[in-house]
Chains A and B, each alone.
Chain A
Amino acid sequence: MSVKGKREESEKRKHVIKRSFLTAFPKTIPIMTGFLFLGMSYGLYMKVSGFFFVYPLCMSMVIFGGSLEFVAVTMLLGSFAPLQTFVMALMIQARHLFYGITLLEKYKGTGWKKPYLIFGMCDESFSINCSTEVPEGADTGWFYFFVTLLNQFYWVAGATLGGILGSFLTFNTEGLDFVMTAMFVVIFLEQWLKEKKHYTALIGVLASAVCLLVFGADSFLIPTMACILCLLTVFRKPIEKAGGLS
C-alpha cells in the first residue's frame, strides 16, 4: 500500500473510533450519575469503616461489582473466612454467567478488546451493549469498549472520590452504613416487582432468616446459599409455571 493509502486508512480508522466514542458516551450519561453517587457512597462507607481511599480505588478496579464491594467491606471487618468469601462472591456475581452467555455472539470478533470487555462486564454495560444498534460509521467493538470503559471509569472515580472526600467530612457520619442496606432493599424490590408470584424472592428471604436463627450471624451464609440452590431446584416446576421470571 502506498504512503498516501496508509495515511487515508489511518484517518478513516481514527474517524471510526471517534464516531464509536460519540455514540457510546451519551448512552452512558444516565449511568454516570448513578455510578458517581453509588461509587461515592461506597468510598465514603469504606472511609467511615476505617479504610483509606486506596482500598476503594483498588477494589473498584479489580472487582468492579458494586454489590460485592459493599459486602466485601463487612467481610474485611470480620475475621478471615476464605471459603465463605469465595462462595459468597460467586453467588453475588453469578448473574454475570448469564450476561456472558447472552453476549457470546456479540463479543465475537472484537479482537484484543474482548478480554477487557469480559473483565469489565457489569449490569449497566450489559444492558447498553445488548440493546443498542450501533449506527453506520461506528464500529461495534469500539462502541462496546467505550461503554465498558466509561462505566468502569465512573465507578472507580466515584469510589476513589468518596474515599478521599470522606477524610474532610466534618458532620457526624453515624448511620451512614445504612446505605448498603438501602441499596439492597431497592434492588430486591425491583426483583420482587418483576415476579408475578414472588416465589424466588420469598425463598431467598425465608431461607436466610431461618439459617440466621439456626446458625447465627457469623456462619449463616453458606448454609443459606446451599438452601437457596436446593429449594430453587426442588421447586423448579411450580416456579417456572408461575412465570414472570425475566
Chain B
Amino acid sequence: MTLTEEILTIGLCAVATMLTRFLPFLVFRADKPTPKYIRYLGKALPAAIFGMLVVYCLKNVDVTAGTHGLPELISVVRVAGLHLWKRNMLLSIGGGTVCYMLLMQCVF
C-alpha cells in the first residue's frame, strides 16, 4: 500500500465513524420516537458483528496444515475460560495473549 492509499484507508475509517456518530443528531429529533426496526438492529447487531470480528481475526488459520490452528484454539479457550472465571477484561486479554506468545515461541 502506498502512503496515499494508507491515508485514504485511515480517512475512510474516520469518515465512516463520524457518519455513525453525527447522523442521529442530523436525522432524528429528540421528541420523536426512533423507528422500531432501527432500534431492533441496534440491539441485535453488536453480538453478530463481534462474532464476525472473532472469525475475521482467525481467518488466516489453516486447520489442514502447519500447527492446525492448535495454538489459536488453545488460546481462545484460555481467554474464554479466564473471562468466565474472573470477568476481568484486562486479565482475560493479557493472559490469553501471553499464552499464545508462549505457545508460538516455545512449543510450536
Q: Are A80 and B76 in contact (CB under 8 A)?
A: no
Q: Chain B residues near A59: list those with CB within 8 A.
A: 10, 13
B45-79 residues with Cβ-Cβ distance < 8 A to A are 45-60, 71-72, 75-76, 79
Q: Chain A residues near B50: list those with CB within 8 A.
A: 184, 187-188, 191, 201, 204
Q: Are A200 and B44 in contact (CB under 8 A)?
A: yes
Question: Chain A interface mostly helix, strand, loop or mixed?
Answer: helix
Contact for B8 among A69, A82, A91, A201, CB less than 8 A: A82
> Beyond A97-B23, A174-B105, is A104–B28 a contact (Cβ under 8 Å)?
yes
Q: Are B59 and A63 in contact (CB under 8 A)?
A: no
Chain B residue with the shortest CB-CB distance to A62: B14
Q: Are B10 and A63 in contact (CB under 8 A)?
A: yes
Considering only CB atoms and an 8 Å cut-off, how many residues of chain A contact the other chain?
90
> At the interface, yes or no: A135 with Cβ under 8 Å from chain B?
no
In which size bucket is the chain B interface? 35 or more
- How many angstroms from the CA of A206 to the CA of B75 in the assembled complex? 21
> Beyond A67-B53, A178-B101, is A191–B19 a contact (Cβ under 8 Å)?
no
Contact for A181 among B18, B58, B83, B90, CB less than 8 A: B58
- How many angstroms from the CA of A195 to the CA of B46 in the assembled complex? 11
From A4-12, A149-157, A158-166, A220-228, the one touching the partner chain is A220-228
- How many angstroms from the CA of A58 to the CA of B30 in the assembled complex? 33
> Beyond A79-B1, A100-B24, A118-B22, is A72–B13 a contact (Cβ under 8 Å)?
yes
8 A-B contact pairs sorted by A residue (CB < 8 Å): A41-B97, A80-B1, A97-B23, A101-B34, A189-B84, A200-B46, A207-B52, A208-B52
A-B pairs, 8 with minimum CB distance: A204-B51, A100-B24, A204-B48, A89-B16, A98-B42, A208-B55, A175-B101, A175-B104
Instruction: Give 10 A-B pairs besides A175-B102, A232-B44 with Cβ atoms closer than 8 angstroms.
Output: A37-B94, A72-B10, A80-B5, A89-B12, A89-B16, A107-B25, A182-B93, A194-B47, A204-B48, A208-B52
Give the A-binding residues of B (Cβ under 8 A).
1, 5-6, 8-25, 28-30, 34, 37-60, 71-72, 75-76, 79-80, 83-84, 89-90, 92-94, 96-97, 100-105
